[in-house]
Structure 1
C-alpha cells in the first residue's frame, strides 16, 4: 500500500505504508539517533509530532516489553528510509509494524529521509500529513487545508497523568510533576530508593507541599512552555520552599518562573549524540535530547539564574542553577532513555541537594 507524506509547503513524498492505515497530521521533526526508536516513539514529548528517523534502517531489533517510556505513545507518525520486516533480537516480542498498528500510529517507509531532513533544517519544523496515496488524493487541496490547520497547544494536558500515584521507596520523598514524564526519570529515582509521588501537571503548590517532599522533580514534556502558564506559577510558589530539579520542559518552565524567556528553535535538538559542556568542570558530555524550544540566554540578565551547561553545536543554554535557592535544571535527558549515560550523575546531585537542604532545616 502506497502512502503520501505531504508538507505544508507543497512538497510530496511518496512511499510505502506500514503501521496504522489512518491519516494523521502533525509537526514533522527529525531525530538523529541510530537506535532507541521504541523509546523515541513512546516519549510523551513527541505528542503531536511526526518523527523522521535519519538512520536508514529502523525496526531491526523489534519491540520488547521493557523499553517503553510511556504506556500510550503520543507521536502522530513515523517516517523511515527502510522499515525492517524481520527483526532479530533475543528480547523481541513484536515488530515495529505491529506496534504502530496496535497503537494507531501511521508510518511511511521507502522515502528519501536525507532530503526531508535537509528540508526541515532549511525551512524549520513544518506541518505535514500522512495520508493514502493515489489519483483520488487532491494534493493541492490537502496542502491548502494543512496550511490553515492550527495544531493543538494542549499537549501537556494530553499526556500528563490525571491522578496522583505513588512509586514507593525508603529514601528521599520526591514529588514528580508529570508534564509528560518519561518513565526513565522515575526509574532513575527508584534506583536511588526515592519515595516518589507522581502528580498531574495542574497540581497546586499547596497540594505538592502537603505531601512533605524532600524535593520536587519537574519532568520533561511536549509543546511550548508559554502554553502552560499555570505550571510556571506553581514553580514560582515552590521556589525556595524545597529543592527543585528540572529536565527539558521542566527546565524551560523553571527558567520562565525565574523571569527568563524561551523561544522556538528552527528545527530543534533531537537525538542521542548532542555534545554539552558542563561549564563548572569543563567536562563534555554526550547527551540525549528532544526539544523544540530553548531558554533565551540574553533574557537571563536581571534574573538570579546562572548558566551551568551549554550546547557545543549551537551555543544554546543547556543547564541552569539558581544563585539563591537549591534548584537546578538541564535541557537534555540525564535519564538516558535512549542514549548515552554520561549525565546520570545529575540524579545523585539532586539527592545530595535534598540531603544538604534537610540538614540546613534541622540546624536552622
Structure 2
C-alpha cells in the first residue's frame, strides 16, 4: 500500500514537515511494510516559504524589519528559489499573527509595513519574480503598510500622510504614487492566497478574520467601513475595482493592495505549492492520501490545503482522510472534494495549551488508528 501524507502546518504547534513525520510514525507502527511519501504543503499561509524553498533547493535570507506593531522589530526571512530569480515573501514572517500575544492583537493598530520591507530586500537581492504568500496575517490594513514601505503615500484631506493600522484607512483621501519603487514595474508578482474572500461585506476581511485578530463586533464594523473607504479611493485614483475580487480580502485586504498597486495575479496558494512540489507526480500510484491542518471546517473549502490536496487526489481517484486539531461546522461539505473522513487528533478534553504541546504524539496516535482503518477498506473508489 502507498500512502501520501500532504498536510499543512498545525498553527502554533507543528510545521508541515513535523506533521508529516508524526503521521508517518503512526502509520509505520501499524503498517511497517507500507510505502509512505511525505509532501509538506502550504496554501499561502505559514509554511509556504519553507515548502517552496525546500522543494527547489533554494536559500533564505534574513532581514530586520518592522513587526506587526510599529514599535516592534523582528528578524524575518525571505526565500530565493532554486532558479535564483524568484523570491518568496511570506507575510506571516514580518506581519504575522503568531508574532503577537493575545493581548497585543488589535487590527486597528497592526501594520503590514514589514512585509513591504521584505519585498524591498528581495528586490535588492535581484529578484525578477515575486511570490507573496499572504496568509497568517495580524493585520487589517489593506496592505497599506506594505505599500508605504515601498514608497506610496496615503494622504488625508489635509494632505498629511496617514499613520499605521487598519483604523487609519478611513482617513485616506488621496494616493500619491510618485515614490513607488520603480523596480516593481519590472517584476512579475503572484499573490499566493489561502482564502478567496472579497475585501468587504459579510464575507470580507474584517467580518470573517477580524475577530481572530482581536476585533470586537464594533471594531469589525469600523474596519469594514475603513476598507470600504480605501477601496473607493483606489477606484477613484487608480481606476481599479478591488471590492468584490475573490482573494482581495486575504490577509486583511493585502490581496487588494497587490492587485491594485502591483497588478499581481491572485492565485490560490495551494495551486502554487502543488505545482512547485510536483504533488501530482507524488500521488501517482497512491492508495490513500492523508492531509490536515490545525482546524478543519466549512471554511476549508475556501482555498485551504486539505481541500486543495483532496481535489487533486479525487481527480486521480484517490480517497483522502483529513486530520485536524479541531473540527468545526461544515466538515460534511468536504466530501464533495474527496475527503471521505475527518478526524480530530484529540482523544480527551484538554486546554488549548495542552493540545498545542501534545500535537506530535496526538497525530501519531491518530495516524495509527487511521492506518488500521485503511488496511481493512478498499483502497480505490
**TM-score over 0.5 (shorter chain):** no
- Identify, as 1 or 2, the structure richer in strand: 1
Q: TM range, normalised to the smaller chain?
A: 0.3 to 0.5
Higher relative contact order (CA 8 A, sep 6+): 2
Task: Give the alignment's TM-score, normalised by structure 1.
Answer: 0.33
